Amino acid sequence: MKSIRYFFIILLSVSFLLVSCKKEDNPTEPQDEDPTTETEVMTVSSTGFGEISVPSGVAVSVIPGAVPQNNQGSSGNISFSIETPVTPPVPLSSNYTLVGNYAQLGPVGFNFRWPITIKLPYPAGTDVSTIFVVHYDSFDEQWYVVPSSEVEYNNNLITATAIELGYYAVATANGFGKINGEKSAGGFSYSGEAGYFYTLTVASVSNFKYPDQQSWYGGDIIGRTGGNGSSPTGTPLQPTRIMLPQATYQIWITRTRPGTLSTLTEIYTYSVPASGTINGPVTYTSVFSNGDGWTTLSLPGGGSWVEGRPTGWALPTSTYGTGEVQITLTWVNNQSRQTDVDLHLFGPNGVHVYYSNEQDGGFELDRDWLEDLGNATENIYSISSVPAGEYTVRVNLYSGDQTNFNVRVIQGNNVRNYSGQVTTSNSGNDPAQMVTIETFSK
């Protein structure tokens, strides 16, 4: 086994016995060979904010305090990225039809302190009562519907929020239980005190008016969020909204202030969830419509604002390093598959950065995952000027089950995403048995 593997706190620390895998090369192909691919990168600190977008309309918006701190309790930095169109790990099932293109939003496999706002375009003339946002759940390896927050009818954009990024798309349903007309999603609307960001989280749900829709959300909507987030200037927007299937709900109401450039914002959740029933759809009747048919939420009596995030949110991930060059490997370990995959960077003059040589040639590996359950991450980034020459990124199956993986390579403002599979157990770290991701020059 590896000798030096314990530099960062792993959220889940259950160890598993390893099993052998068959030897089989499975090289990966880049997702950005299409010359029409749009990419954008933005780095945000724990106290910072920002919004990035690409010409097609895909956008990611981050409020102050959404990025977690690092393991030392100091402000961290995260490089957010957009790449579209991309090829997802698996396409939508036959129950759905893709509307537009798939988008990969990064970082993948990272849980934030506060939901990130996502905007996705849909074609002009689309009946918005038939569309919804879908997300690829890498743990279950399936696509699920996620609640929307609003429709920017005049811009042909649909908005959602999420604690975790990844593959997203806009879709319609085929055949059974199609969401349109009276079966379309309804929604809650909440207006709080000025100067706060708010988000709404499903605490419980019952009495689905159309029970077939429950399975579209992974069988459980609890913990799903909705909220308008912020404008590109970092100021709060109200009201806060979440679009959901018609049913009876309890909703956590959570808020935070913008904070300062040096202070991480505190998050408060009202101690008693608000209650409400959605009996009909939200409809859009004009280009500048904000939607009709919202169900208003109010703070219930007997509660108070308590510091903390609501039940149902995943624990935040400690931030890892980012620099002018950043290479991040992600995969998922679940109950049926535990794998130790390693990220290797080879460079000029014998540079080799990996778990046993964490700093070399101006690069550092600061995140190394074993076989623990959850969103697994390995990360290499530049910490200083690096030698000129060619660098090669490789992925290695050190031990465990075969698995699918994703690699994101960032150079300056350019992002490249790769996906593939490792099946060759290679504890001897033979480069010839690794999956080569790409070679780049510095």
Give 202-220 as a DSSP string: EEEEE--SSGGGGGGGTT-
The pLDDT score that the predictor gives to residue 12 is 29
Residue 61 shares a structural domain with residue 185: yes
Q: What is the pLDDT of residues 233-261, one digit of tens each?
A: 678 888 999 999 999 999 999 999 887 77
- The phi and psi torsions of 349 (rounded to 5 degrees) equal 60, 35
Flag whether pLDDT at 141 surpasses 80.
yes
pTM to 2 decimal places = 0.86
> What percentage of the chain has pLDDT greater than the value 90?
63
What total number of domains does the chain contain?
Answer: 2
Residue 227 shares a structural domain with residue 273: yes
CA distances 196 to 61, 93, 305, Å, are 16, 39, 13
Residue 302 shares a structural domain with residue 331: no
Q: What is the pLDDT of residues 96-114, one digit of tens each?
A: 899 999 999 999 989 999 9
CATH number of the structural domain spanning residue 298:
2.60.220.30
The residue among 365, 382, 388, 377 whose CA lies nearest residue 332 is 377
Query: Does any domain span residue 350?
Result: yes
- Asked if residue 232 has a cis previous peptide bond (ω within 30° of 0), the answer is no
Residue entry with tokens 């600190």 = 45
Residue 120 shares a structural domain with residue 217: yes
CATH number of the structural domain spanning residue 414:
2.60.60
Flag whether pLDDT at 10 surpasses 90.
no
Query: Does any domain span residue 51?
Result: yes
The pLDDT score that the predictor gives to residue 1 is 45
Structural domain of 127: 47-307
Query: Does any domain span residue 62?
Result: yes
Sequence-distant (6+) residues with CB within 8 A of 107 are 78, 79, 80, 81, 165, 328, 330, 408
Q: What is the pLDDT of residues 339-351, one digit of tens each?
A: 999 999 999 999 9
**Pairing state of beta strands 295-296 and 186-190?**
parallel
The pLDDT score that the predictor gives to residue 233 is 66
- The phi and psi torsions of 152 (rounded to 5 degrees) equal -85, 85
Flag whether pLDDT at 8 surpasses 50.
no
Residue 263 shares a structural domain with residue 400: no
Flag whether pLDDT at 3 surpasses 80.
no
The pLDDT score that the predictor gives to residue 432 is 96
Residue 267 shares a structural domain with residue 134: yes
CA distances 25 to 346, 391, 405, 432, Å, are 19, 21, 14, 9
